[in-house]
């Protein structure tokens, strides 16, 4: 019998890359029950004879108790696809068990059980050397395969661009941006570089700064020091929280300009993070009453049509280069959709500038869970 892998972990608890410190990152999409699947489990046929304990229970519930190494969602999919029989007849999920039935299951591999495939795609690479790749991710591109997005991700594109990344955990990805957030990311090309960058994230010495357009007019500058945790009623969301599970989250912001969209005030902000919790900028600004323009998850829903995504750009990135040991930084140009949005608001895009960062080692960002 093959040795079981630990269950894949998503969201609040994060997986540890082999040989690396915990990367403290999260998928853009909640993988839900599928996270319980054991990808190393054998896919040999399974035969089960039910006992009286199953009387009156639904088939999917019975099976999830008998083969807990597979999630209930996955078992339901097998039943729907005709891979489960009860006494020789094709089963249905809601079939009520009478006891003593003979169950035959033909397990099917889940998409995440297969190696990720290289896929050709255009990558906007600002810098590349033997240790790292710095790229400008467009809005709409998922960073890492997950439920609902098993292909067409940045990871697939990286594997095509640099096949050697297949030997590096997560194809060298050490931090993420939300699907609809644009801007800068750094990718490691070697295990040593990945280890170094992850440690910089954990030490809060990797520097990342953002530009955001929000509804309303915040004060000139401020700091949001508000712990965050998973939303108590909506697993897709994060929230400011006093829960014992909440993690420290600190966002500094500065107002760069103000304008109007459809006669409603908007403000262009420069955001600097001390931590990097999931959706941190979006949640912190929303908690002040200034949600991001276009944010369908946390924003003002009657104003969503104004912009098709959250108006958030990872505009500047600074790291200590894993090879040279010297501080390097890069800036990404504003994408055209945000340029046009600022012009619509009467804001000069030339004001959307973040000055160069100093190379001092004082922690200013990091402690990353994931995307923003």
Sign of the alpha-carbon dihedral angle for 128, 133, 136, 137:
positive
Beta bridge partners of 209: 272, 316
Cβ-based neighbours of 122, under 8 Å, separated by 6 or more: none
Residue 149: pLDDT band with limits 50, 70, 90:
confident
Please report the pLDDT score of residue 111 as a whole number. 62
Indicate if the pLDDT at residue 345 is higher than 70.
yes
Indicate if the pLDDT at residue 372 is higher than 60.
no
Q: Is 178 a catalytic residue?
A: yes
Please report the pLDDT score of residue 245 as a whole number. 86
Please report the pLDDT score of residue 140 as a whole number. 95
Query: What is residue 355's DSSP assignment?
Result: P
- Least confident residue range of 133-142, 220-229, 239-248: 239-248
CA–CA gap between residue 45 and residue 98 (Å, rounded): 23
Q: How many CB atoms lie within 10 A of CB 237?
A: 16
Q: What is the mean pLDDT of residues 160-176?
A: 93
CA–CA gap between residue 186 and residue 189 (Å, rounded): 10
Q: What is the mean pLDDT of residues 10-38?
A: 31
Please report the pLDDT score of residue 305 as a whole number. 79
Most confident residue range from 247-251, 299-303, 343-347: 343-347
- The DSSP annotation for 239-291 comes to EE--STT-B--EEEEEEEEEEEETTEEEEEEEEEESSB-TTHHHHHHHHTT-P
Q: How many CB atoms lie within 10 A of CB 180?
A: 21
Residue pair 277/245 in contact by the 8 Å Cβ criterion: no
CA–CA gap between residue 338 and residue 63 (Å, rounded): 50
Q: How far is CA 151 from the centre of its chain?
A: 15
Residue pair 48/59 in contact by the 8 Å Cβ criterion: no
Q: What is the mean pLDDT of residues 37-63?
A: 77
340 token code pair: 């046009």
Please report the pLDDT score of residue 15 as a whole number. 32
Phi/psi of residue 11, each to 5°?
65, -115
**81-139 pLDDT, tens per residue?**
999 999 999 999 888 999 889 999 998 876 656 678 999 999 999 999 999 999 999 99
Crossing angle of helices 59-66/72-80, nearest 10°? 130
Q: Is 286 left (phi over 0), alpha (psi -120 to 50) or beta?
A: alpha
Residue pair 111/73 in contact by the 8 Å Cβ criterion: no
Q: Nearest CA to 30 among 149, 110, 126, 184?
A: 149
Please pick, among 27, 38, 60, 178, the residue that the annotation labels catalytic: 178
153 token code pair: 């991700």
């Amino acid at each position: 019998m093959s040795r079981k892998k630990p269950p894949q972990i998503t969201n609040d608890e994060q997986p540890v890359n082999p040989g690396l410190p915990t990367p403290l990152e999260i998928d853009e999409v909640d993988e839900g029950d599928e996270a319980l699947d054991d990808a190393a489990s054998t896919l040999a046929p399974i035969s089960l004879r039910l006992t009286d304990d199953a009387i009156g229970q639904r088939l999917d519930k019975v099976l999830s108790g008998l083969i807990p190494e597979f999630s209930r969602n996955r078992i339901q999919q097998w039943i729907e696809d005709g891979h489960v029989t009860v006494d020789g007849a094709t089963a249905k999920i809601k079939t009520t068990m009478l006891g003593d039935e003979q169950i035959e299951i033909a397990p099917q591999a889940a998409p995440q059980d297969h190696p990720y495939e290289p896929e050709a795609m255009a990558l906007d690479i600002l810098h590349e050397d033997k240790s790292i790749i710095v790229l400008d991710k467009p809005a709409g591109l998922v960073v890492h395969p997950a439920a609902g997005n098993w292909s067409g991700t940045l990871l697939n594109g990286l594997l095509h661009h640099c096949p050697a990344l297949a030997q590096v955990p997560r194809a060298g990805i050490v931090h993420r941006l939300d699907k609809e957030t644009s801007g800068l990311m750094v990718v490691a090309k070697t295990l040593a570089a990945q280890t170094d960058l992850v440690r910089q994230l954990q030490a809060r010495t990797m520097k990342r700064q953002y530009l955001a357009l929000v509804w309303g007019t915040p004060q000139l500058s401020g700091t949001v020091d508000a712990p965050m945790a998973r939303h108590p009623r909506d697993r897709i969301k994060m929230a400011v929280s006093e829960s014992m599970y909440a993690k420290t989250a600190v966002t500094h912001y500065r107002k760069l300009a103000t304008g109007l969209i459809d006669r409603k005030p908007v403000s262009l902000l420069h955001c600097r993070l001390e931590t990097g919790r999931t959706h941190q900028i979006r949640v912190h600004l929303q908690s002040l009453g200034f949600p991001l323009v276009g944010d369908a998850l946390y924003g003002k829903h009657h104003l969503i049509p104004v912009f098709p995504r959250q108006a958030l750009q990872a505009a500047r990135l600074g790291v200590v280069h894993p090879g040279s040991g010297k501080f390097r930084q890069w800036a990404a140009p504003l994408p055209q959709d945000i340029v046009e949005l600022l012009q619509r608001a009467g804001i000069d895009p030339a004001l959307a500038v973040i000055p160069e960062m100093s190379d001092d080692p004082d922690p200013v960002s990091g402690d990353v869970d994931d995307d923003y």
